[in-house]
Amino acid sequence: MDLFDMKGKVALVTGSTHGLGMSMAMGLGKAGATIVVNGNSSQQKIDDAVAQYNDAGIKAVGYKFDVSDESAVKKAVERIETEVGAIDILINNAGIIKRIPLEDMEVDDFKQVVNIDLVSPFIVSKHVVKGMIKRQSGKIINICSMMSELGRNTVGAYAAAKGGLVMLTKNMATEWAKHNIQVNGIGPGYFATSQTAPIRVDGHPFNEFIVNRTPAAKWGNPDDLAGAAIFLSAKASDFVNGHILYVDGGILATIGKPSNED
């Protein structure tokens, strides 16, 4: 399937040491891409993640840098392209969330969330796209969210950033399409990860809410994101640009069902 073959491609996935970022990167790696693992917590965590990719038969290398630090990003991109190869695929996945009611949130906390979740994808894309423009080829995927479309208590800063990321994605696509660069987004729904494990137990109110709110009546499996990432990174999506692909089990398709409905 040449449309989905990524042999010889280099994919930089920010925040790919664990969770959904790792799931998407694993998918690209199994499709043949070399994975550039990024994180900023510790070199040991990056090394451990690289070992997991290698154990899965995937060629991976790790680079520790802060995606919100433009100088660090510029240096890292230059190193990657010198030491690994031209970056063909960029997935802007790194992000944070702070669950604080807006009236109680400090301005510095609000700015930090926006800086990492919205400004950082701009910074990383700005430096990666220059090489893509020279080569007249490239794929960029920004990881959006259900909160790009829906509001929810205590996540105002995150929702503002992810909503802005949708429009940033569309504007990147508008400016760079003429260079044969496709920029799209993925909006994950609610997934079964180690972070959500405490609230996925039977009887937990939020678990019941998600199961009832999702037409698929279940949490997503992180591996479900791999197909979307492969599609938007591969030749198969060469005429798809400025699109946000929601992988949500149908949440955005419905207003939900009454609690007494089967």
List domains and CATH numbers for the chain: 2-192+223-248 (3.40.50.720)
pLDDT digit string (tens) for the chain, length 262 residues? 799 999 999 999 999 999 999 999 999 999 999 999 999 999 999 999 999 999 999 999 999 999 999 999 999 999 999 999 999 999 999 999 999 999 999 999 999 999 999 999 999 999 999 999 999 999 999 999 999 999 989 999 999 999 999 999 999 999 999 999 999 999 999 999 887 888 898 889 999 999 999 999 999 999 999 999 999 999 999 999 999 999 999 999 998 766 555 5
Positions marked active-site: 158
Q: Rounded distance, CA 190 to CA 173, Å?
A: 26
pLDDT of residue 32: 97
Which residue type, as a one-letter code, is found at position 71?
S
Q: How many residues does the chain have?
A: 262
Q: Rounded distance, CA 92 to CA 120, Å?
A: 8
Q: Per the structure block, which two tokens stand in for 51? A: 């070992």
Q: Rounded distance, CA 29 to CA 25, Å?
A: 6
Q: Find where tokens 């660069």 sit.
A: 181
In contact, 30 and 5? CB cutoff 8 Å = no
In contact, 52 and 190? CB cutoff 8 Å = no
Q: Which backbone phi and psi does 34 adopt, to 5 degrees?
A: -85, 130
Q: Please tell me whether the overall predicted TM-score, pTM, comes out greater than 0.85 for this model.
A: yes
pLDDT of residue 194: 82
User: How many C-beta atoms lie closer than 10 Å to residue 4's C-beta?
Assistant: 15
pLDDT of residue 31: 97
Question: Which candidate, 49, 57, 41, 42, places its Cα nearest to that of 18?
Answer: 49
Q: Where are the alpha helices (DSSP H) in the chain?
A: 19-30, 43-55, 70-83, 107-114, 120-135, 156-176, 205-213, 224-233
